[in-house]
């Protein structure tokens, strides 16, 4: 019997599978796609409502294609085994076209890289799924038409090198719209009132004002709050109702791709891209000593929560052996999928729960262990009994008008929580912490110990994190599991958004491009339109939608909008070139504002004869009133006046006699470096992304740095040598706080001498 050629995507997977199979198999890797649309032309012939892509071998893949053809000539049979999704199906289809039809070619699918799964797949070969291939081709052609047709418009109106993406541009729009909501938000004041009450049985407990005259308590100002406090101090407090209920908290389903990315971001601080990279390693195989290479998790691009019966049975046995019979449900836990089309894959789970994280940690990197542990715990927990607790709700009447409420919770059984608890984007538990209430009886009169009124302000919607943006895309039906990670990376790589302190901020460039595209291409930038397109692509995969009709339905209105945009799209290059009062110090011309790779900057209008440029912050208000430079003393080198300037890397001090005198120094804060043994001063610095921070001027000898602006005021509580500026989350007011974690001192920023005029 001759040999069979098995072609997979990844060299790592090829190595793992090769060790499972005998000498009758040759295992090769395509290293991803081998063909694609050409890079320097549209590559799509559009004629009579038909769209014919012209595929060419990808750059650098010639040698790999030649090796695959050579191996195919030696084999009796070719089996194509790329990943089990649209992209994998398309890769198999492209490889088959490159190899030709001289040898029989079949498709094999396995959702986990284990010996049993591979043997089973080899015994059940399939034909290439044309519907999946057409769904992938549709997506590729749509993305190419949008990118290839719109990007030159951006080159013409903004700057060269910009690009538009069918899905990524919508993600940027979501970030821009969220930022606009935040900027337009007007905080509204409100007050809460919490009392401390004591009954016959200790200890005292907290109760919040819940209703006034039978309606929800709404207190809008301090005067109203003071009036309520005054009333409560004089009124008797009596328990009107004690309600006890047993409640259950059920486990969450095993991971799908989006939920894995969200949870890895919350708990591990992973980007979506990193999560998928590490998951790919776990899927393709890890060397486990004598056991050899083992694929530890099932395929990690999935919308399905379905789990194989054999995996559930193994998990149930482990639960009994590791945690006890009480933790095992009488019946198997099943979780429904949103729709039938998602059932093609299983959920993301361990290939065997027998690979307990603590047992194999010596073979895994830190990132691999953390992600595998997350997947293992979530899956095991999904098959365990719910947590059970008593919730006690106590209603208390203060006189006839005021109702107070206290809620307590007592856990009866931890259930699945012994293994795993899902993280929250707001870092809080929706059920509240366990709070024990004392024994309380209806009709009991309580003693009022304390009343605490507290001022609050409504908060704007939070900026997106990677976790919440993935969640938003998923909920709105934008993108698919295989695309979330690339969306997160692409919108940052293109300079349309920045990730600061794990939150997305739109750049000036992102806001500009989004505004231009939204006006000229309302459908392309429409959330509902993009979601509907994703649904149509699913229908193509199911065989219920013709892919050529889908492309034609998209292209007709798109082509019309494109023709209009060519005539009407605002030229931001010209609009942005407003003349400034800044005089070019090389040729004397008045400099103009231009758009560049990192946003707006100031340049000489005589380019290319004069190539002088400046950061936008170097002119106008950044240097003082009407562009005048601020005098900050005399130069120690030549005695001329020193001046405060703004540069690409933040504010700095330089000699006014430049270029004859090149003296410069950082802007000091007057705060001594707190690191022991260091005699440096904290000075202003600016990060590569333009964010201000404060670092020791003895760097690199001392690497102390802080994001918070320091003030030369010692903390009166703990004597720490300086305080830092923080913005109040409730009122938005600037406060000075002690940076020591165990010190809670804070005060308002003094008006004289210290308050930041900027």
Catalytic site positions: 299
Q: Give the angle subtended at the CA of 302 by the CAs of 297 and 306, to the nearest 5°.
A: 80
Q: Evaluate the CA torsion angle 409, 413, 415, 418 in order and state its sign.
A: positive
Q: Is 392 exposed, middle or buried (0-12, 13-18, 19+ CB in 10 A)?
A: middle
Picking from 267, 262, 251, 367, the residue whose alpha carbon sits closest to that of residue 307 is 251
What does the block give as tokens for 572? Answer: 């931001």
Contacts of 187 (CB under 8 A, 6+ apart): 457, 458, 459, 460, 731, 732
48: left (phi over 0), alpha (psi -120 to 50) or beta: left
Specify the DSSP element, H or E, that contains 315: helix 309-323
Distance between CA atoms of residues 364 and 348, nearest Å: 18
* DSSP state, residue 330: S
Contact 666, 685 (CB under 8 A): yes
Contact 5, 14 (CB under 8 A): no
Distance between CA atoms of residues 626 and 605, nearest Å: 21
Beta bridge partners of 668: 683
Contact 506, 514 (CB under 8 A): yes
Distance between CA atoms of residues 250 and 384, nearest Å: 9
Distance between CA atoms of residues 746 and 445, nearest Å: 38
Alpha-carbon torsion, ordered 341, 342, 345, 350, to 10 deg: -170
Distance between CA atoms of residues 748 and 66, nearest Å: 71
Contact 15, 285 (CB under 8 A): yes
Distance between CA atoms of residues 79 and 17, nearest Å: 13
What does the block give as tokens for 41? Answer: 């032309």
**Exposure string over 618-648, b if 16+ CB within 10 A, otherwise e:** bbbebbeeeeeeeeeeebeeeeeebbbbbeb
Distance between CA atoms of residues 396 and 17, nearest Å: 67
Distance between CA atoms of residues 665 and 602, nearest Å: 23
Contacts of 53 (CB under 8 A, 6+ apart): 37, 43, 44, 137, 140, 141
Distance between CA atoms of residues 578 and 283, nearest Å: 55
Q: Which alpha helices (DSSP H) does 350-476 contain, by range?
A: 357-360, 366-382, 466-476
Maximum pairwise Cα distance, the chain: 97
Contact 112, 298 (CB under 8 A): yes
Contacts of 186 (CB under 8 A, 6+ apart): none
Alpha-carbon torsion, ordered 361, 366, 367, 371, to 10 deg: 40
Distance between CA atoms of residues 458 and 186, nearest Å: 8
Distance between CA atoms of residues 208 and 193, nearest Å: 6
Q: In whole angstroms, what separates CA 545 from the centre of its chain?
A: 33
Distance between CA atoms of residues 517 and 535, nearest Å: 23
């Amino acid at each position: 019997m001759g040999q069979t050629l098995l072609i997979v995507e990844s060299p790592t997977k090829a190595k793992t599978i090769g060790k499972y199979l005998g000498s009758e198999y040759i295992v090769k890797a395509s290293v991803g796609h081998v063909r694609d649309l050409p890079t320097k032309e549209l590559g799509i012939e559009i004629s009579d409502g038909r769209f014919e892509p012209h595929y060419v071998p990808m750059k650098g893949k010639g040698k790999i294609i030649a090796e695959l053809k050579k191996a195919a000539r030696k084999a009796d049979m070719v089996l194509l085994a790329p990943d089990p999704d649209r992209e994998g199906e398309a890769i198999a289809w492209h490889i088959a076209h490159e190899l030709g039809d001289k040898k029989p070619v079949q498709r094999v699918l396995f959702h986990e890289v284990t010996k049993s799964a591979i043997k089973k797949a080899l015994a059940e070969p399939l034909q290439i799924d044309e519907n999946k291939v057409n769904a992938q081709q549709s997506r590729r052609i749509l993305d190419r038409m949008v990118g290839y047709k719109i990007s030159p418009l951006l080159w013409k109106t903004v700057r060269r090198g910009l690009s538009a993406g069918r899905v990524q541009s919508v993600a940027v729009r979501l970030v821009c719209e969220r930022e606009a909501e935040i900027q337009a938000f007007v905080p509204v004041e409100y007050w809460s009132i919490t009392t401390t009450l004591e009954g016959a049985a200790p200890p005292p407990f907290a109760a919040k004002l819940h209703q006034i005259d039978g309606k929800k308590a709404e207190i809008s100002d301090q005067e109203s709050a003071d009036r309520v406090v005054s009333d409560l101090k004089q009124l008797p407090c009596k328990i009107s109702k004690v309600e006890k209920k047993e409640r259950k908290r059920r486990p969450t389903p095993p991971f799908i791709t989006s939920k894995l990315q969200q949870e890895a971001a919350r708990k591990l601080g992973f980007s979506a891209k990193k999560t998928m990279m590490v998951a790919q390693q776990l899927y393709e195989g890890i060397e486990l000593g004598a056991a050899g290479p083992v694929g530890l998790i099932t395929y990690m691009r999935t919308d399905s929560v379905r789990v194989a019966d054999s995996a559930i049975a193994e998990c149930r046995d482990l639960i009994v052996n590791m945690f006890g019979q009480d933790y095992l449900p009488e019946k198997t836990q099943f979780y429904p999928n949103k729709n039938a089309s998602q059932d093609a894959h299983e959920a993301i789970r361990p290939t065997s729960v027998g690979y307990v994280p603590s047992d194999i940690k010596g073979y895994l990197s830190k990132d691999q262990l953390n992600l595998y542990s997350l997947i293992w715990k979530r899956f095991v927990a999904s098959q365990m009994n719910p947590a059970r607790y008593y919730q006690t709700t106590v209603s208390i009447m203060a006189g006839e008008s005021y109702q107070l409420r206290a809620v307590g919770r007592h856990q009866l059984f931890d259930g699945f929580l012994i293994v795993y608890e899902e993280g929250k984007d707001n870092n809080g538990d929706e059920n509240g912490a366990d709070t024990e209430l004392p024994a309380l009886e209806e009709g009991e009169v309580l003693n009022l110990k304390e009343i605490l009124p507290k001022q609050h302000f409504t908060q704007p919607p939070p900026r997106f994190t990677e976790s919440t943006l993935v969640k938003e895309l998923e909920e709105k039906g934008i993108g698919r599991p295989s695309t979330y990670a690339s969306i997160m990376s692409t919108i940052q790589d293109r300079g349309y958004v920045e990730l600061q302190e794990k939150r997305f901020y739109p750049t000036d460039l992102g806001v500009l491009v989004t505004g231009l595209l939204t006006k000229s291409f309302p459908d392309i930038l429409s959330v509902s339109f993009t979601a509907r397109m994703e649904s149509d692509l699913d229908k193509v995969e199911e065989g219920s939608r013709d892919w050529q009709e889908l492309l034609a339905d998209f292209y007709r209105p798109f082509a019309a909008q494109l023709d209009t945009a060519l005539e009407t799209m605002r030229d931001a290059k010209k609009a942005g070139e407003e003349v400034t009062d800044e005089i070019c110090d090389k040729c004397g011309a008045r400099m103009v504002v231009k758009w560049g790779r990192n946003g707006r900057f100031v340049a000489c209008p005589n380019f290319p004869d004069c190539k002088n440029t400046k950061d936008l912050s170097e002119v106008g208000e950044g240097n003082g009133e009407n562009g005048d430079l601020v005098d900050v003393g005399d130069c120690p080198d030549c005695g001329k006046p020193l001046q405060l300037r703004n540069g690409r890397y933040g504010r700095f001090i330089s000699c006014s006699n430049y270029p004859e005198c090149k003296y410069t120094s950082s802007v000091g804060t007057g705060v001594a470096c707190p690191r022991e043994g260091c005699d440096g001063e904290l000075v202003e610095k600016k990060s590569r992304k333009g964010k201000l921070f404060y670092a020791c001027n003895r760097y690199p000898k001392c690497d102390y740095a802080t994001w918070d602006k320091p003030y030369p005021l010692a903390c009166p509580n703990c004597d720490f040598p300086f305080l830092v500026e923080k913005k109040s989350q409730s009122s938005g007011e600037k406060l000075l706080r002690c940076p020591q974690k165990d010190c809670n001192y804070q005060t308002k920023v003094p008006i004289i001498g210290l308050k930041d005029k900027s």
